[in-house]
Amino acid sequence: MLRPGFLLVYFCLCCHALACAQQGGQKNTRVQFSGGLNAYAGIYTSSGIAGRNQPNPFGLSGAVTLTLPGGVSLPFSAVLGNQGASFRQPFNQFGMSPTYKWATAHAGYRNVSFSPFTLAGHTFLGGGVELNPGMLRIGAVYGRFNKAISSTLTDPDVIPAFRRTGYAVKVGYGKPGNYVDLVMLRARDDTNSIDRLQISPEKFTAPAENMVIGLTSRLLLIKHVLVEADLAASSYTRDMSAAEVQAEGKNPLFRLAGKLITPRLSTQLTQATQAALGYQGKWGSVKFQYKRIDPNFQTMGAYYFQSDIQSYTGNLTLNLLKGKARLAGSYGKQFDNLAQNKNARTGRSVGSLMVSLNPDPAFGLDLSLSNYGLSQRAGLRPLIDTLRIAQNNLSATANLRYSVFDKDYSHIFTLTGSHQQLSDLNANTAVQTENNSQNANLGYFLQANQSGFGANLMLSYTQTSLPTVGEDKDKLKFYGPTLGSNYAFFKKKITTSVNVSYLVNKQAEVTGKVLTATANAGYQLAKKQTVSINLNYLKSDTGVQSEKFNEFRGNISYGISF
């Protein structure tokens, strides 16, 4: 039986969708159904290991989408079989954001973003509007950001949480891609939403309050020059029951926060800034970025922030040889311990370089190089050499491709190689951490343009040197071929494909082998009806007798779409 609440929501959705369709002149004014049903049956056998599936799986599965006038889609899916049953529908969290001309309304469960450091995608239950008449940019939302959760005797492990409500407003000027917005967010916990007396000491949760004022902009100062800026100041009270204090100091942000909220001993004022200056032209682009986020910076309008960081990044892109060559590179540095209250300061450096050459449509070469460095230096205390982190991670990849096209066939050859190396600059820990690996792949792909026949062959080789490995014979190696083919016949009503791979792995004196084979076939009975057969065989022999096993899976299914 349908619940009255569900019927009410459904009726409101239909009325609203019809109104939007009439006002916006949309062509779709009918309720539509689409989806499909699938019946399947299979067989599973194994030897050497305990079965990882039922011997004879079978069942029914289906997915239906109900499309209401105005474009509102409601998806449903269900599975019923001897492996279990499930049903999914979208009404646990439902919301809508209808748009008419320059106005957008939000209702229900929504996640809206006003700026990266204020309201940044946090899901809330409530409503709001965004209005963009001409150059004016106005937005406002209000709702519940967290629901109340209480510990009970039947479920004492639940982490309690207060009911949190809040609002955010935005006022700005400009167009998308060239604007300035001023944003404010304020949210607080309801201290009466849960029984705090029943909270155990180890799961004590204090009610919190937050106010954030931010500025976000994307400005095209002159032709090809773009300036981006996101700034925010957050006043976060971690315990609303803490004693009140007087907001003092020369900082105007402190004085403003003291007028808008009640400062307490648990209140902390933090700031976040990120800015970029870029230039883009026919020859390429250049961009410089800066970011600084104070320690413990938080906003109730976002789920997570990486705080206590400061970084500088530069990016350069060049288009050369009339577009036949492209060069892109970047370099950046990042460090923490901005308040100088940690035992150590960690610094990171990241550099990358990419070169792409395409002198001819049939030939291409791509090269990429990246380097990631990590180091530490003393903070409040001297660093012990045996514990100091100093590492360098180098990665290099090269990809070569060559194609031959004619009237009947297409031939594509690829060769890819990569090298990764972790170097530990601390001699005391290098023996336990340093490692490197190399990989090479040679591929050939054939496609018949008329008959639909295709084939591919791939040869792969991977070698890894682990920290405990000293001699070449002890390196871990993987190598083997993969062969595949596909063909469609009877006017493409029947499609088939076969793939076989054989992988050998060696380490020390142990050799293992894994054989995998799959075969698939499908037949189109009618325009919307298909029958398919899938077979899979796995033979694994890692070189250890207790890990040797075989598996076979077979499945036949019938599907109909509507």
- At 235-253, the pLDDT tens digits run 999 999 899 887 666 666 6
Note whether 196 and 239 are within 8 A (CB).
no
Task: Quote the CA–CA distance of 187 and 145 in Å, as a whole number.
Answer: 8
pLDDT of 256-297, one tens digit each? 666 778 888 999 999 999 999 999 998 999 999 999 999 999
DSSP string, 140-181: EEEEEEE--B---SS-TTPPPB-EEEEEEEEEEEEETTEEEE
Residue 52 CA to residue 66 CA, distance in Å, equals 36
H-helix or E-strand containing 71?
none
* Spatial distance between the Cα atoms of 241 and 339, rounded to a whole number of angstroms: 26
Q: Which two tokens stand for residue 528?
A: 């919307």
Opening angle at CA 308, ends 387 and 249, nearest 5: 130
pLDDT at 454: 93
Residues 6+ apart with CB under 8 A from 206: 238, 239, 240, 241, 266
Q: Helix/strand/coil (H, E, C) string of 421-457?
A: EEEECCCCCHHHHCEEEEEEEEEEEEEECCCCCEEEE
| Predicted local distance difference test score (pLDDT) of residue 483 | 97
Indicate the SS3 state at residue 381: coil
Residue 119: strand, helix, or coil: coil
d(CA 109, CA 127): 8
Q: Which amino acid is at 481?
A: P
- Region class of 241: left (phi > 0), else alpha (psi between -120 and 50), else beta: alpha
C-alpha gyration radius of the chain: 31
Residue with tokens 């949309």, as numbered in its chain: 26
DSSP string, 299-354: -TTSS----SEEEEEEEEEEEEGGGTEEEEEEEEEEE--TTS-SSEEEEEEEEEEE
**What is the distance between the alpha carbons of residues 541 and 549, in angstroms, rounded to a whole number?**
7
pLDDT < 50 positions in the chain? 1-27, 469-473
| The token pair that represents 302 in the structure block | 């976002």
How far apart are the C-alpha atoms of 485 and 457, rounded to whole Å?
Answer: 9
- What's the pLDDT score for residue 6? 35
In Å, how far are 21, 149, 159, 194 from 144, measured between CA atoms? Answer: 30, 13, 18, 15
Locate 392 and state its tokens.
Answer: 């360098």
What lies within 8 Å, CB to CB, of 384 at 6+ separation is none
Distance of CA 136 to the CA centre of its chain: 33
Predicted pLDDT of residue 201: 67
Rounded to whole angstroms, how far apart are CA atoms 125 and 95? 8
**What pLDDT was estimated at residue 202?**
66
Q: What is the pTM of this model?
A: 0.78
The distance between the two most distant Cα atoms of the chain, rounded to a whole number of Å, is 84
Please tell me the distance from the alpha carbon of residue 545 to that of residue 13, in angstroms, as a whole number: 62
